[in-house]
Each structure stands twice: as C-alpha cells, then as structure tokens.
Amino acid sequence: MRPKFYLKRPYNTKSAIDMVCRFNGKRFKVGVGLTVKTENWSKKKQRLKERVTKGIEMNAYLDKCERIVLEIFYQFKKSGTLPSPKFIRKEFGHQVKGVPRGDSFFEFFQKHINQQEPNWQRSTFTDYRRTLITLQEFDKQWDNDLHFHTIDIEFYEDFKTYLLKQRNQNLNTFGKRIKVLKTVLNRATEYGLNKNFAYKTNSFKVYNSVADHIYLTTSEVKRMISLKLSSKSYRAVRDLFIIGCITGIRFSDYNKLIKNNVQNMGKHQVLRFRVMKTFQHITIPLHSKVIEILESWDYNIPLYSNGYSNMLLKEIGKLAEIDEEVLFIKNTGNSKVEERYYKYELICTHTARRSFATNLYLSGKVQMHEIMKLTGHKKERSFMRYVKATRDIDMNIIESVLL
C-alpha cells in the first residue's frame, strides 16, 4: 500500500489535501488537516512546490502522514490481519493530530443524545436527531471523512452548499444544524475528545435570518370559525387552531386544555399550566369563545400530530377562502428567491400563536410587555422579529382585539 495525496477541491482557489489509501480492494480518504492554494500544488509530485513559503515544512508533514499510515498498516499485516479504514483514520488522528483515543465523532454525538434525551423536550431531541442524521447523510457524499479533526471551515462551506443547494433548505435550517453541532463539539472538547477549535472561529457562524412567516388577520380567523365542518378531525384541528389564535399557547401545550387547568379568577376564567418548552408556569385569560369551544368538546378535543394538523389546516384555510396571494422570500445563502403562494398554503399550527401576538400588537390596546408575558419573550427585539406587522398602518381598520 502506498498512500497518495490529492487536492480535495482542485478547481477552487484553495483546497484541503486528502490522503488516499488503497488496500485489499478498498479505497478510502483521510483528511490531513492542511489547506493550500491550488496554484502551489504539484499534481505530479503530490507535494507543495518547494518555492512556496513553508513548502518544505508542509511537505515534511505530508511525509510524516504517509509514514504513520504505513506503520499502522504494516503493524497489522505482520500479525496476519488488515486494519479497517475506520481504525486507520482513528489511529492516524491520534498519532498525527493528538486526537484522544475514544469515541468517534458520530459515536460521541449519539451518546450525547442518549444521555440528554431524558432532560430534553421532544422538540430539542428532534433537532439533535435530525442534525445527526443530516450529518451522516452528508458524510456519505463527503467520502466518510467527517471526524473531529476534519470539522473545519472547508467542511462548513461544503455542508452549507449541501443543505442549501442539494437539499433545497434555507439558511435558518442550516443555522439550526450548525448551532446543534457547535454544542456537541463544545461538550466533546470538555471531555477531551476534540482538539480542533475551528468551530469557534467567526467564520463558523450560526445564521438566524428573519423568517418570512404569515399571520391571519382577525377577519380571517373569524372566517375559519364560521366554517361548517362535518369531519371530526377537521373540526378538532380547526378548533385547536382557533384557541391558539386567541390564547397564544403552543401546539406542544394543546394537551393542557383540560378542565382541571381552567380556574376562576374573580369574574373571569383563566388557563393555568406549566409550559412544556420553558417549564414556566403561566396564567392565560380565557376568551368566552375559548370556553365555548372547550365545552362543546367536553374539554376533550382530539389531538392529532403536527404534520397531519398542518395538512388539514391548509385545506381548512382554502375552504375559508384565505386565498390572498402572498410573496414568500426564501433565503438561499447568497441570494433571495421570491415565490408566490396562496395564503392558505402557508398556514401551519404555529401560525395561530404568531397571529395571536401580531393581532394583539396591532390593536394598540395592549402594551408590548403585557403581550410578551403571554408569549414568553424576554427581549423586545426577539418579540419584534416574531410579530409579522408594524403599527405604521391606519389603526381604524382594526375593529376589535382578536375577535
């Protein structure tokens, strides 16, 4: 076996160097941790041109990489066995880069999920699980070269391209994945498994652009209420959505809409419960319409999955003729793509909570900090990113608050 060195991205101005090994009919790559200008690379010699600054030192490092891989291979061969590509990568990372022997990146990621799952909300577990699966799928295209020591700026850019271009996802989704990844890497660093700190640089940033979501106006909410629906599932999904528009509670807290949580406070009735996402106890004044809906179901509204509810809500929105054409701006990294939809096509369970906050804010009758108490927002900046309108419109068009 004789390792060879190639540029990972030979047509870019800069590229990482890969070491390619072949034995027993297998071919695999090992990232050596060097990135160079492609014009300084000699394809024939598989080394940097010696006239390049630090070219001699970097070539000596490549010689060391080759020597160590050969030593690992021949130590196994003497015993009549052959090392697996996984073992070679792991041992190479330890001997060359000082990566501690222990769990691989994916092994540690999975262990972290298993350990933390009992303490997480379902949504947090889902974020971590989806990030792990996405990285594993990306790794198959990245020559199975995703390890602690290869998570660098080149990985960051390649992963970004993979999500935005190949999987047609937006910057916010990419930002979610990177945020989770950085948390896992921080934990791995605490355990001494990660010695690569590229993820802490400014270039390894978490995107969090303003998402272009919709909200329903009070008149649109009323149109949904007035619908005569014969299907039990349609009525249940619609009624829970309406309650969300009036109370602002999250989809994950719909199961708190039980009789024991409804209490009297003076002349009014309130809903008291502990929020699943934040574990905070909250008290929400109940509109008479909410009481009417809950009593019509005897405080036992059927719950359906988020995905199924989203599907039905779009159909319900269409029936309610919420068909205004809206412009949806999709952020794809370096550009923004404008797409047109009928408004009902964008309705989802979270639209209810956003409609609640936006309509209360637009009414001008409730102070911002009072709305923030109900939504759980701590900072005005976050709240203003959340509501989907500003007060620079003629407030005479707002006839009432919510309903």
For the cut 50, the answer to whether the pLDDT of residue 391 exceeds it is no
Does 9 fall in a domain? Answer: yes
Q: Which domain holds residue 13?
A: 4-97
Residue 341, token pair as written in the block: 């939809």
- At 395 the pLDDT is 38
Task: Say yes or no: 340 and 260 in one domain.
Answer: yes
- Block residue for tokens 């039905």: 312
Does 209 fall in a domain? Answer: no
- Block residue for tokens 């010699």: 45
Does 402 fall in a domain? Answer: no
Contacts of 267 (CB under 8 A, 6+ apart): none
Arithmetic mean of pLDDT over the chain: 85
Does 370 fall in a domain? Answer: yes
- Block residue for tokens 């370096």: 334
> Using CA atoms, how far apart are residues 370 and 377, in angstroms rounded to an integer?
10
From 103, 104, 30, select the one nearest 65 (Cα to Cα): 30
- At 397 the pLDDT is 39
Lowest mean pLDDT among 56-60, 140-144, 237-241: 140-144
Lowest mean pLDDT among 64-78, 264-278, 384-398: 384-398
pTM tops 0.75:
no
Task: Say yes or no: 196 and 238 in one domain.
Answer: no
Domain count, the chain: 3
- At 218 the pLDDT is 93
Phi, psi torsion values for 333, nearest 5 degrees: 105, -95
> Using CA atoms, how far apart are residues 395 and 286, in angstroms rounded to an integer?
25
Query: 388: burial class by Cβ within 10 Å (0-12, 13-18, 19+)?
Result: buried
From 259, 353, 253, 245, select the one nearest 303 (Cα to Cα): 253
From 313, 394, 299, 326, select the one nearest 353 (Cα to Cα): 313
From 302, 242, 250, 299, select the one nearest 274 (Cα to Cα): 250
Helix axes 153-161, 171-190, angle to 10 degrees: 150
Task: Say yes or no: 340 and 223 in one domain.
Answer: yes
> Using CA atoms, how far apart are residues 372 and 344, in angstroms rounded to an integer?
27
Task: Say yes or no: 260 and 280 in one domain.
Answer: yes
For the cut 50, the answer to whether the pLDDT of residue 31 exceeds it is yes
Q: Which of 56, 74, 97 is the last residue of a domain?
A: 97
- At 396 the pLDDT is 42
Q: How does DSSP classify residue 287?
A: P
Task: Say yes or no: 250 and 110 in one domain.
Answer: no
Residue 62, token pair as written in the block: 């490549």
